[in-house]
Structure formats: structure tokens, C-alpha cells
Amino acid sequence: RRRRAGSRFFNFLVTDHDGSREPFYRAEHYGVSSVEKPKTGPGQRPIASEKIVVPVTTLTRLLDDNRVTQLDLLSMDIEGHEPKALAGFEIDRFQPKLVCVESKPANRAFLLDYFKEHGLPEPESPEADLRQRVAALEARGVPASELDAIRTDLAAIESRLAASPVRSEVEH
């Protein structure tokens, strides 16, 4: 919240339906929480998690409820839940200018098909020059505070990838 002072935060499980409350597993290690109970964390070590029940919504509903009509950046890192979240998102209506998805190898075929079906370019690997994309957003007039938050997030992702001893096929 300190890095994104102008942002609002919502606690929802974003999926392909809304209006219910469903289980979510909050893990003791950052970045491992998920709709599925995590068995292991970094280094394949056993990890503890807490089952909580959270409200469910679709991304489209969340955006509509908050009167968002366009997206500069759609960023997803939701531990394998991307297909369900995207099923609840009208991407053709919101037309994000930049999409960044960190996904598990098992979801790569789905994502490639999804982007192709919606006329979007094939996703690039993390080694792609994301700084050029941020510069393009800057040229389109995205506010400096939002660009700074994007740069900070990208640096954190790159740092995590660099520190990771095992890299997935999506990260190559």
C-alpha cells in the first residue's frame, strides 16, 4: 500500500462466477496462497496454510462495480487460477494495453489459445524487454505514480526469478 498510495485494494477470490463464498488457503510463505491447499513451498519444503472463506467475484464484475471502463495493465500472478479468472473477464470489452501473466507450465497452452482467440499477441517470456512496454505506457499518458508501481512490481518479479533455482518452461 505504501508503493501504491492511490490504489484501492479488494479481498476477493476472482474466478468465473460470483455471489458466493469459497475456500482459499493462505500459506505461511508469500506467493504460495491459492484456491488449492499448497503442499510445499520454496525448495519443495512442506508448508503450513490456513483455510479461510472469502467472497467470490469475476474480474468483470469487480471492474464494473468500481466503474472501471479501461485498463492500462492487467497483471496476474494467481498461482494457477488464471484460466478461471480469465473466464470471468470480458477482455474484448476492457482491452488492456499491456497484459502480464505469471503462470504455471500447466496453463501455458490455455493462455496461448486464450490470447490467440482474443486477437492478442502471443505472450513473451520474462526475458522480453518489459521496460520498452512500460515506456510505451508512459508515451500513452499513464500517470507517473502508476508507472513507478509497475516498475517496482517488475523489479520484484525479476528479482524472484533470478533467485529461483528452478525455472519453468514459461520462464525460459
Give the pairing of strands 49-57 and 21-27. antiparallel
Q: How far apart are CA 110 and CA 142, in angstroms?
A: 30
Share of the chain above pLDDT 90, in %: 24
pLDDT at 91 over 90: yes
pTM: 0.66
| Nearest Cα to Cα of residue 90 among 112, 109, 66, 118 | 118
Residue-level pLDDT at 129: 56
Q: How far apart are CA 133 and CA 45, in angstroms?
A: 36
Q: How far apart are CA 172 and CA 167, in angstroms?
A: 7
Residue-level pLDDT at 125: 55
Q: What three-state secondary structure class fits 77?
A: coil
Residue-level pLDDT at 62: 95
Contacts of 58 (CB under 8 A, 6+ apart): 14, 15, 16, 17, 18, 88, 89
Residue-level pLDDT at 167: 41
Confidence band for 58, pLDDT divided at 50, 70 and 90: very high
Confidence band for 17, pLDDT divided at 50, 70 and 90: very high
Residue-level pLDDT at 105: 80
Confidence band for 172, pLDDT divided at 50, 70 and 90: very low
Confidence band for 124, pLDDT divided at 50, 70 and 90: low
Burial group, residue 61, by CB count within 10 angstroms (0-12, 13-18, 19+): middle
pLDDT at 140 over 80: no
| Nearest Cα to Cα of residue 114 among 77, 79, 88, 134 | 88
Confidence band for 127, pLDDT divided at 50, 70 and 90: very low
Residue-level pLDDT at 115: 87
Average pLDDT, the chain: 80
